[in-house]
């Protein structure tokens, strides 16, 4: 049996092995964006970074992606909380415990295609409402897919992450023995609303905060769904980066690398900023 002293070097080596490809990729992108390497680059320059930093479309895509992520995670969180608070017994057994796993079987591309076929102007619901006489023309159907507000992207993202979030919250609900705390609070005279606001929600949200942040990063970094359901303006940041990298103009590739590095820095700032805030909040309550 391995001792702790023997395991630690292996864990360090595994961590470095996992981190190394990412660091090599970032280093390559950084050198390419500064013109040090690359097909048409002629030497060190900050021109590509200036073009990206002064490009309004880049910041618009970044903020648009962040907003889509916040709304998608917010909707999923509300649905998952409602299900766990009201149906936590049914989620452990019965048909609901099986149905909750069903969306997990669909890849992101399939979900995006399903949303597109259901909610586009030529999709299922548009044709159905036309046949029953609720709309008189296909153009009367509201724009849900390829729209300016990313409604189709939000629908698809929420569909994907809600089951994951429900299972995480269900596990927290059971592991933290929330039911016992609820019974104690009620026996001391707390109302149903006080139990929900002072006991149930704080425990669930406190334990799930890191998972929520990871889901936010997942939605911001998704590519297939925005590609199918988004539009050219505004576009999600991942689509904007790939569009820039795959253009026929090779001079755009350094800008694509600069955008990718800024995107990674934004995610790191988001992750470590959130962790820092969480620690400060914990110290304040200590």
pLDDT band at 154 (very low <50, low <70, confident <90, very high): very high
- Residue 7 confidence (pLDDT): 63
Taking residues 161-184, report their average pLDDT: 89
pLDDT band at 142 (very low <50, low <70, confident <90, very high): confident
CA distances in angstroms from 60 to 55, 66, 143, 145, 206, listed in the order given: 9, 10, 21, 20, 31
Q: Is the pLDDT of residue 90 over 80?
A: no
- 109-118, 121-130, 138-147 — which is least confidently predicted? 138-147
Taking residues 150-179, report their average pLDDT: 91
Each residue of 211-262: pLDDT tens digit?
999 999 999 999 999 999 988 888 899 999 999 888 777 888 899 999 999 9
Q: Is the pLDDT of residue 4 over 90?
A: no
Taking residues 18-44, report their average pLDDT: 86
User: Cα(264)–Cα(23) distance, rounded to whole angstroms?
Assistant: 11
What is the pTM assigned to this prediction?
Answer: 0.86
> Are the C-beta atoms of 141 and 127 separated by less than 8 Å?
no
- Residue 50 confidence (pLDDT): 93
- What CATH code is assigned to 64-231? 1.10.3720.10
- Residue 145 confidence (pLDDT): 87
- Residue 11 confidence (pLDDT): 78
| Extents of the domains making up the chain | 64-231
Q: Is the pLDDT of residue 95 over 80?
A: no
- Residue 92 confidence (pLDDT): 72
Taking residues 188-208, report their average pLDDT: 89
- Residue 39 confidence (pLDDT): 75
- Residue 17 confidence (pLDDT): 84
Residue whose tokens read 């490809």: 21
- Residue 284 confidence (pLDDT): 65
Taking residues 257-277, report their average pLDDT: 90
């Amino acid at each position: 049996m391995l001792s702790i002293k023997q395991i630690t070097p292996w864990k360090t080596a595994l961590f470095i092995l996992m981190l190394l490809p990412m660091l090599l990729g970032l280093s390559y992108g950084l050198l390419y964006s500064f013109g040090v390497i690359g097909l048409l680059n002629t030497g060190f320059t900050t021109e590509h970074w200036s073009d990206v930093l002064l490009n309004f479309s880049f910041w618009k895509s970044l903020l648009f992606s962040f907003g889509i992520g916040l709304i998608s995670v917010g909707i999923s969180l509300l649905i998952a909380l409602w299900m766990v608070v009201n149906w936590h017994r049914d989620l452990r057994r019965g048909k609901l415990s099986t149905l909750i796993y069903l969306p997990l079987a669909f890849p992101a591309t399939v979900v995006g295609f399903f949303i597109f076929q259901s909610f586009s102007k030529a999709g299922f619901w548009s044709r159905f409402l036309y046949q029953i006489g609720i709309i008189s023309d296909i153009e009367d159907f509201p724009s849900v897919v390829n729209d300016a507000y990313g409604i189709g992207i939000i629908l698809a993202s929420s569909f994907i992450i809600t089951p994951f979030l429900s299972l995480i919250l269900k596990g927290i609900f059971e592991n933290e023995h929330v039911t016992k705390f609820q019974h104690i609070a009620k026996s001391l005279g707390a109302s149903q609303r006080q139990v929900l606001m002072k006991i149930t929600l704080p425990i669930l949200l406190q334990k799930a905060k890191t998972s929520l942040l990871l889901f936010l990063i997942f939605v911001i970094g998704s590519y297939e769904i925005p590609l199918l359901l988004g539009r050219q303006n505004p576009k999600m940041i991942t689509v904007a980066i790939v569009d820039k990298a795959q253009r026929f103009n090779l001079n755009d590739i350094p800008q694509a690398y600069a955008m990718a590095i800024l995107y990674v820095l934004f995610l790191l700032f988001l992750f470590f900023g959130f962790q820092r805030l969480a620690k400060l909040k914990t110290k304040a309550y200590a």
